[in-house]
Amino acid sequence: MSRSKKFPTSFSRRSFLAGLGAAAMSPYLPLLNASGQEPTMPKRLVLFYTPHGTVKNQWKPSGTETNFTLGRLLKPLERHQKKINVLSGINMQDVGVGAAHTKGLPLIWTGSKLLEETTFTREDGAGGKNFGWNSSLSVDQRVAQVIGAKSAYKSLEFGVRSGGSNPACRMIYTDARKPLAPATDPWAQFSRLFGSATPEASGERLSALKVARAELERLSPKIASEEREKISAHMESLSNLEMRLTATAQLCAGPTLKPKTDFNVVANTVAVVDSQIELIVAALACDLTRVASFQYSVGDTDNKPYPWLGINDAHHNLTHSVDTDTASWEKVMKIRVWYAEKFALLLDRLDSIKEGNGTLLDNTLVVWGTELGEGRTHSFKSTPFVTAGGAGGAIATGRYLEYEEKVDHNRLLVAICHAMGLSDVKTFGNIDKGTGPIARLLK
Amino acid sequence: MSHALPVRAGLASPLCARKASRVLLPVALRSRRVVSGWLVAGSLLVGCSGEVGAPLSPNSQLADNRAPSAPGSSSALPGVGAGPSATKPDGTPSVSTQPLDCKKVNVGATPLQRLARGHYVNSIRDLLKVTVAKDSLPEDEKVGAFDGNTVAPVTDLLVEGYMSAAESAAKAALPQIEKLVVCDRTKLGDAACAAQFIEQFGQRVYRRPLKSEERASYVAQFDAYKGKGYPAALRVIVQTMLQSPNFLYRVELTPVQPGAEVTTLDAYELASRLSFFLVSTTPDTELLEAAKTGELLAADGLTKQVQRLIDDPRLSETIDSFHLQWLDIDKVDTLSRDPALFPMFTPEIGAAMRKETLRFVNYVLREDDGTLDTLFTATYSFPEGPLLDLYGLDAAAAKTGGPVELDPSQRAGLLTQPAFLASHSYYGQTSPVLRGKTVIRNVLCQTMPDPPPNVNTTPPASTPDATTREKLIEHTSNPSCAACHKRIDGIGLGFEEFDAIGRFRTKESGKPVDASGNLMGTEMANGAFNGVSELAQKLLTSPELPQCVTTQWVRFALGRMEADTDACTLDKLFKDFSASGHDIPALLQSIVLSDAFRSKRVATESAP
């Protein structure tokens, strides 16, 4: 088997397979039928997050569903206009405990509220009750249960400035109280995904893993029953690791990242964001995973400066500026345009990978969300969403869809499930009051 | 059930031999404070729309049979449990209908805790003499204000993080790996020395002796890897041990004991709790030896070990991490400030602020009288380098290296230190809201309801040269904001005599600073005050602050939030703390000797 030096910029799955031995196919290429003749390219899902809502009148497109002009804040997406949908006027339901930014972040993808538990005291400035982790799983994890089951990683989470271990900083959940922290150091993540351990090192790892698993098994019955779930989650992660260690194929050498820097230093943020985007695209192209998410900053006050944009004020504070403070609002716009540029970069890279008759982007559904409608009012009405990619033909793109604040975002979460092939899903999230996918998005 | 230990058996306060004479409240007043109820942090919602100034009244009866001096008195039960039942759906605290019998041992359940990052890093330092970067693992969950991992389980990413960290640590330790357990290989042979290594080093990693099946798995590993050489085989063993759940979790087994709800910790479990609490790291060999001999379970043995750890230099790590987290000042050295307004604010001055506060709390607790009152009123501190400028002092003031006397009309205690003042400010201005909220939440352990739904939190237009106080006027003129902000800003505006980097100021925007405030929501200290020194004095005359400090230290010590069943323990600790004149080192000892610290709940059902 030959190793490619870089991840492929173009490959057809079948030709790719031709060079692989049977051992290499498993478990990395799960959708293939026995003959290796997969009829269609696999679907992928990417969730993309940026903080603190938008400024609606600068974000909203003008025009009709199929003939529209993007607003100032989405201008960088113009080159992808045929492959995106702008979804305006979707409400998130403002229910449950937690301040707006805190509950909004986990709400986006779970469509569910925070648990009324005492795990956390308020950290975000609003005062108020205690709160717990989110109460249900996020849509990417529901999808991953089906399409990610056999890939090396069921899903991969990437973050930049993504904060501490609390609901205001965690948007992805495999279940109630089970958040997935994003990986924040792209260079460490590169080694994890694309670095290949020597057989010797793998052997040592498997040996350590075996000891740990035996101890967990002995421990479980001896601790309080309500704590055993922690043990079983640990065992599951060890099994996943074992599966990756025993798989022999490493198909890709990975992308070329920017030179390694300290990911925690504010001045390095752009290099970190760009590297994370490269890793997401490479992980999907190499089929290390089919489900990924990218979290830029946190719901709980993005207050680090943006020196690369010449902005040293705290973003969250800027969003609470008075109307007449045009200088501050100009800074907010600059930050939001930069978000769109990074979203466009992700689409550039996805669209540059040829797959079959189209591109990786055509087989992917990318959804961009934020934790509330407008940061300045903390309103959950008209929370902006943008989708990109065709989800392997499930979605018609190039449209501006206006929902006039008459639909909850739980309908969008159901539509995501349907687009990814989970067409039996009727509701999503434990606050869902309706049924079925959002109108007009799916073909 | 009976205790192995008499409560507070002969423990004198070791650090406070030079206790300053203190003016204590009259006995009658003190006993009123004592019986005024245990208002547990984070549990009682102080309604904003109602009478925020009214004392928080107890809402249930606690039969405290150990307090005959207060007949008929009542205490509030904490409304916090460990799980979802802690609050009712409408957010009000649930209240136990069963009164606790404080003659019995009552204790809340301890969740299975995963090592906090600080404890993990310190343990590896002490076990292997190597440094692991804290950043190599994701941030911890919180237990109240403190780092801890009690709810969310590990993930694939974290398991691989532990794997990488263990491999790096074992690799870095390779040069000295044979010296970790001294053994004469030429005399005894590799196999015997490896067995000794597994036994002795394993006991330190696992914080208890290895069980036979655990020993066997490492012996098997040695046999599998000895071909690579003796040190390499030990390296594989070490990196495996560091991935063991018995290292990564603070394991306390919960045996089924028919008829019992509570049992005492075993000696090794107690050794772990003691060590992580008092010195923020894994037990040392002396503590493990005291567990092995059973000395730790005897009154004088425990006293001896507590005394030793309190005298240990590593107690400072506990003092540091408690105060950094309690007051939320851990990130003061990474703050940024508008250079046009605060040219003196640099990373160096931020680091000096952090260092000042840590030197101060360590000095008060270890060299001065150790009291809460001194923490909140001392007029000395430890400014160094660029901080001297901020205080308006010249370099000569700090040259002795000892405490520096500050202007007592400006500075008194922790709340007037730049680390606190700057941490709770914004980039270009102070924040009375952040400062007020931190006092309410962290210092007084009180919480408030959310703002009303759909409230427009956009600040009103204001003239550019308005003072911060003037900008906040909408908070109290708009009724939907006023209910809570009267209380928050009432405290926070009293801090206006300090700017966003903690400098004392008499003018803002050319106008004289108004540092008048109004304290609400306390039992005995409500009313007007002027400036932070007066606020601190006022806070010390009401029970909320010492109760909160007691609660915060208990959370820190146990790594969990308090439960209903901890009420007797908390009540007693607070009474002891009050009686000691708010002696914090004595409080730490009382916590170690408390039911909650030395006991655990047993399983209520049989294993599957």
Q: Mind listing the pLDDT tens digit for each residue in A348-367? A: 999 999 998 899 999 999 99
pTM, 2 dp: 0.86
Considering the domain architecture, whether residues A363 and A300 belong to the same structural domain is answered as yes
What number is the ipTM of this complex? 0.88
The per-residue pLDDT for B11 is 35
B335-390 confidence digits (pLDDT tens)? 888 888 999 999 899 999 999 999 999 999 999 999 999 999 999 999 999 999 99
In chain B, what residues touch A154 (CB-CB under 8 Å)?
A: 156
Q: What angle do CA B360, B361, B364 make, to 5 degrees?
A: 85
Residue B8 has pLDDT above 70, yes or no: no
Provide the residue range defining the domain that includes B593: 1-38+57-102+257-312+550-608
Residue B583 has pLDDT above 90, yes or no: yes
- Non-local (6+) Cβ contacts of A63 within 8 A are A69, A400
B227-270 confidence digits (pLDDT tens)? 999 999 999 999 999 999 999 999 998 777 777 889 999 999 99
Considering the domain architecture, whether residues A283 and A378 belong to the same structural domain is answered as yes
B21 Cα to chain A: minimum distance (Å): 37
Structure tokens at B248: 């990564």
Three-class SS state of A168? helix
Inter-chain contact A117–B86, Cβ cutoff 8 Å?
Answer: yes
The answer to whether position A441 is within a domain reads no
Among A349, A344, A314, A355, which residue's Cα sits nearest to residue A331?
A: A314
Considering the domain architecture, whether residues A188 and A229 belong to the same structural domain is answered as no
In chain A, what residues touch B155 (CB-CB under 8 Å)?
A: 178, 180-181, 233, 237
Inter-chain contact A237–B159, Cβ cutoff 8 Å?
Answer: yes
The per-residue pLDDT for A250 is 60
Three-class SS state of B579? helix
The answer to whether position B460 is within a domain reads no
Size of interface A-B (CB pairs under 8 A): 225
Inter-chain contact A125–B154, Cβ cutoff 8 Å?
Answer: no
Inter-chain contact A208–B434, Cβ cutoff 8 Å?
Answer: no
Q: B560 vs A298, B82, B119, B414, CA distance in Å?
A: 25, 8, 15, 25
A301 C-beta neighbours (distance < 10 Å), count: 23
- Non-local (6+) Cβ contacts of B110 within 8 A are B252, B558, B559, B560, B600, B601
Among A119, A183, A191, which residue's Cα sits nearest to residue A156?
A: A183
Considering the domain architecture, whether residues B123 and B187 belong to the same structural domain is answered as yes
Residue B562 has pLDDT above 80, yes or no: yes
Considering the domain architecture, whether residues A154 and A170 belong to the same structural domain is answered as yes
Structure tokens at A24: 């290499």
The answer to whether position B49 is within a domain reads no
**If pLDDT is split at 50, 70 and 90, which confidence band does A119 have?**
confident
A64 Cα to chain B: minimum distance (Å): 31
Residue B486 has pLDDT above 80, yes or no: yes
Output the domain CATH number for residue A90. 3.40.720
B94 Cα to chain A: minimum distance (Å): 12
Residue B75 has pLDDT above 70, yes or no: no
Rounded CA separation A365/A356 (Å): 17
B11 Cα to chain A: minimum distance (Å): 34
Per DSSP, the residues of B365-429 read HHTS--BHHHHHH--EE---THHHHHHT--GGGGTTSS-EE--TTT--SGGGSHHHHHHTB-SSS
The per-residue pLDDT for B98 is 64
Structure tokens at A26: 């498993």
Considering the domain architecture, whether residues B163 and B305 belong to the same structural domain is answered as no
In chain B, what residues touch A238 (CB-CB under 8 Å)?
A: 159
The answer to whether position B183 is within a domain reads yes
Rounded CA separation B239/B257 (Å): 36
The per-residue pLDDT for B453 is 53
Rounded CA separation A392/B314 (Å): 59
Among B384, B393, B334, which residue's Cα sits nearest to residue B357?
A: B384
CA nearest to A263 within chain B: B135
- Non-local (6+) Cβ contacts of B604 within 8 A are B256, B261
Considering the domain architecture, whether residues A219 and A290 belong to the same structural domain is answered as no
Question: For A379, phi and psi rounded to 5 degrees?
Answer: -80, 140
**If pLDDT is split at 50, 70 and 90, which confidence band does A196 have?**
confident
- Beta-strand (E) ranges in A195-235? none
The answer to whether position A318 is within a domain reads yes
The answer to whether position A425 is within a domain reads no
Considering the domain architecture, whether residues A201 and A180 belong to the same structural domain is answered as no
The per-residue pLDDT for A435 is 97
- Non-local (6+) Cβ contacts of A247 within 8 A are A26, A27, A28, A152
**If pLDDT is split at 50, 70 and 90, which confidence band does A31 have?**
very low
The answer to whether position A42 is within a domain reads yes
The answer to whether position A431 is within a domain reads no
Rounded CA separation A223/B110 (Å): 11
Considering the domain architecture, whether residues A58 and A207 belong to the same structural domain is answered as no
CA nearest to B604 within chain A: A224
Considering the domain architecture, whether residues A410 and A357 belong to the same structural domain is answered as yes
Inter-chain contact B441–A164, Cβ cutoff 8 Å?
Answer: no
The answer to whether position B50 is within a domain reads no
Q: Which of B217, B250, B283 is the last residue of a domain?
A: B250
Q: Which of B40, B107, B112, B560 to mutate to test the interface with A (most CBs of A within 10 A)?
A: B112
Considering the domain architecture, whether residues B71 and B121 belong to the same structural domain is answered as no
B145-186 confidence digits (pLDDT tens)? 999 999 999 999 999 999 999 999 999 999 999 999 999 999
Number of domains within chain A:
2
Rounded CA separation A423/A407 (Å): 20
List the helix and strand counts (H, then E) for chain A: 12, 13
Tell me which amino acid residue B580 is.
Answer: S
The per-residue pLDDT for B54 is 32
In chain A, what residues touch B146 (CB-CB under 8 Å)?
A: none
B452 Cα to chain A: minimum distance (Å): 10
The per-residue pLDDT for B464 is 65
Considering the domain architecture, whether residues B505 and B385 belong to the same structural domain is answered as yes
CA nearest to A311 within chain B: B338
Inter-chain contact B142–A166, Cβ cutoff 8 Å?
Answer: yes
Rounded CA separation B197/B192 (Å): 9
Residue burial B55-66, b: 16+ Cβ < 10 Å; e: rest: bbebebebebee
**If pLDDT is split at 50, 70 and 90, which confidence band does B201 have?**
very high
Inter-chain contact A118–B80, Cβ cutoff 8 Å?
Answer: yes
**Are the CB atoms for B143 and B276 separated by under 8 Å?**
no
Considering the domain architecture, whether residues B123 and B153 belong to the same structural domain is answered as yes
Considering the domain architecture, whether residues A256 and A170 belong to the same structural domain is answered as yes
Provide the residue range defining the domain that includes A212: 197-249
Number of domains within chain B:
3
The per-residue pLDDT for B230 is 97
Considering the domain architecture, whether residues A50 and A136 belong to the same structural domain is answered as yes
**Are the CB atoms for A438 and A407 separated by under 8 Å?**
yes
The per-residue pLDDT for B578 is 97
B308 Cα to chain A: minimum distance (Å): 31
Considering the domain architecture, whether residues A93 and A211 belong to the same structural domain is answered as no
Three-class SS state of A190? helix
Q: Which of A211, A220, A272 to mutate to test the interface with B (most CBs of B within 10 A)?
A: A211
Inter-chain contact A121–B449, Cβ cutoff 8 Å?
Answer: no
A31 Cα to chain B: minimum distance (Å): 23
Three-class SS state of A311? strand
Rounded CA separation B392/B380 (Å): 14
Tell me which amino acid residue A182 is.
Answer: P
CA nearest to A379 within chain B: B454
Helix axes A100-110, A139-147, angle to 10 degrees: 30
Considering the domain architecture, whether residues B350 and B294 belong to the same structural domain is answered as no
Rounded CA separation B75/B573 (Å): 14
Considering the domain architecture, whether residues B290 and B331 belong to the same structural domain is answered as no
CA nearest to B81 within chain A: A118
Rounded CA separation A6/A389 (Å): 24
The per-residue pLDDT for A251 is 63
